[in-house]
């Protein structure tokens, strides 16, 4: 009667429901073991999660570093392309000796064509050729022939500029002819 209070309650229970001290201890030990296992599992899960997060952070750092390197390489590639383009433009801009000779010959031929056109116009108009009077027309004819030749020899911006000068000098030549023979 003066035993533990648990024993009192045990006696009141039917025999099938009675749990002995040993069974309770075993149950408590199993509960402790289960809790320990749960704590260990949580620790392992936390460690795995932290490891995964570290892996993600490292991967993110690597990705950002690769992006920076890619951007840096792209900038370097652009700089290299610009340098190559500059070198190519320099090599293209330097005319060879043959090109210089061709340019001088072209210039002289155009100048001769301008004066030849002035002489031809004076002959057709039955007017005596006066170099001072026909000089503006001769220069316009020179500009016309030179710019027309450059229009066919070059490409790009030079071609457009040469075409514009060709048309302007043609218009000026027509006006000059009207002035000479009014």
CA-CA distance, 135 to 148, in Å (whole number)?
20
User: What predicted TM-score, i.e. pTM, was given to this entire model?
Assistant: 0.48
Per-residue pLDDT of 27-62, as tens digits, reads: 888 998 999 999 999 999 998 899 999 989 999 999
Angle formed by the axes of helices 157-180 and 131-153, to 10°? 160
Per-residue CA distances from 43 to 29, 33, 34, 64, 136 (Å): 21, 15, 14, 31, 100
Per-residue pLDDT of 57-86, as tens digits, reads: 999 999 999 999 999 998 888 888 888 888
- pLDDT over 80 at 177, yes or no: yes
CA-CA distance, 142 to 166, in Å (whole number)?
10
DSSP assigned state of 95: -
Query: Judging by beta carbons within 10 Å of its beta carbon (0-12, 13-18, 19+), is residue 123 exposed, middle or buried?
Result: exposed
């Amino acid at each position: 009667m003066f035993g533990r209070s648990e024993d009192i309650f045990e006696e009141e229970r039917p025999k099938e429901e009675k749990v002995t001290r040993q069974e309770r201890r075993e149950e408590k030990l199993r509960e402790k073991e289960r809790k320990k296992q749960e704590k260990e599992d949580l620790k392992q899960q936390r460690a795995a999660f932290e490891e995964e997060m570290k892996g993600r952070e490292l991967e993110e750092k690597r990705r950002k570093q690769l992006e920076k390197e890619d951007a840096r390489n792209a900038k370097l590639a652009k700089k290299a392309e610009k340098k190559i383009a500059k070198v190519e433009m320099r090599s293209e801009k330097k005319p060879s000796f043959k090109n210089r000779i061709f340019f001088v010959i072209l210039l002289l031929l155009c100048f001769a064509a301008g004066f030849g056109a002035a002489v031809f116009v004076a002959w057709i108009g039955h007017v005596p050729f006066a170099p001072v009077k026909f000089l503006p027309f001769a220069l316009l004819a020179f500009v016309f022939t030179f710019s027309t030749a450059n229009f066919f020899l070059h490409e790009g911006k030079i071609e457009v500029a040469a075409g514009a000068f060709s048309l302007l000098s043609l218009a000026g030549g027509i006006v000059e002819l009207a002035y000479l023979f009014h």
